[in-house]
Amino acid sequence: MKFVARALNWLLLPTLLTGLWLLLNQTLEPSQIVAGALISLLLSWAAMKLRPMRSTPRKPLTILRLFFCVCYDITKSNIDVFKIIWFKPKTHTPGFIRIPLELRDPHGLAALACIVTYTPGTVWSGYSEKSGVMTLHVLDLEDAQDWIDLIKNRYERPLKEIFE
């Protein structure tokens, strides 16, 4: 059973790359399917050599919940940043926050960095591996504790479930 799961996991990237190849070439000709599959397999094999550290995300429902949570937060943040830029409220105060993280998995930390940076109005500014403290820049810093709670509860906790 483990072998089947590993094989399916390994074939996911070549399958997606082959599909992308066919989509970009706008064809389903057998020669293009074979060419796309061969190129995809070679690229996937080469990419495996570049990533010595592997990760096996768990809890697909948590991944799905996190995905929709991030989509909602990005949409809401876009609206908030729009209001700040166009209406220039006087209470707008940018600033840096230091957030202690329990998450240690490099893949989870990379996902958290992407989530935070994709969300308008926030930027991952640094991380101390020694102390486990993330530095976050926020465009509208009203209450630092609200931001700490948001990062730890909405993003860090699900990422810990997925990666650790």
pLDDT digits (tens, 9 = 90+) for 73-91: 999 999 988 888 888 767 7
Question: Is 133 in the same domain as 88?
Answer: yes
pLDDT band at 69 (very low <50, low <70, confident <90, very high): very high
Give the domain range for residue 89: 60-163
Within-domain flag for 55: no
pLDDT band at 46 (very low <50, low <70, confident <90, very high): confident
Does the pLDDT value for residue 31 go beyond 80?
yes
Strand boundaries in 25-143, DSSP class E:
95-100, 122-128, 133-138
Within 10 Å of residue 6's Cβ, how many Cβ atoms? Answer: 11
Torsion sign (Cα): 32, 35, 38, 39: negative
Question: Is 15 in the same domain as 78?
Answer: no
Q: How many domains does one find in the chain?
A: 2
Q: What is the mean pLDDT of residues 7-28?
A: 84
- The predicted-structure confidence for 94-139, as pLDDT tens digits, reads as follows 899 999 999 999 889 999 999 999 988 899 999 999 999 999 999 8
**Residue 54 per-residue DSSP state:** -
pLDDT band at 59 (very low <50, low <70, confident <90, very high): confident
What per-residue confidence (pLDDT) applies to 9? Answer: 64
Question: Is 35 in the same domain as 64?
Answer: no
Q: How far apart are CA 147 and CA 136, in angstroms?
A: 9
Sorted by sequence, the CB contacts under 8 Å of residue 58 that are 6+ apart come out as 161, 162, 163
Task: Give the helix/strand (H/E) hosting 155.
Answer: none
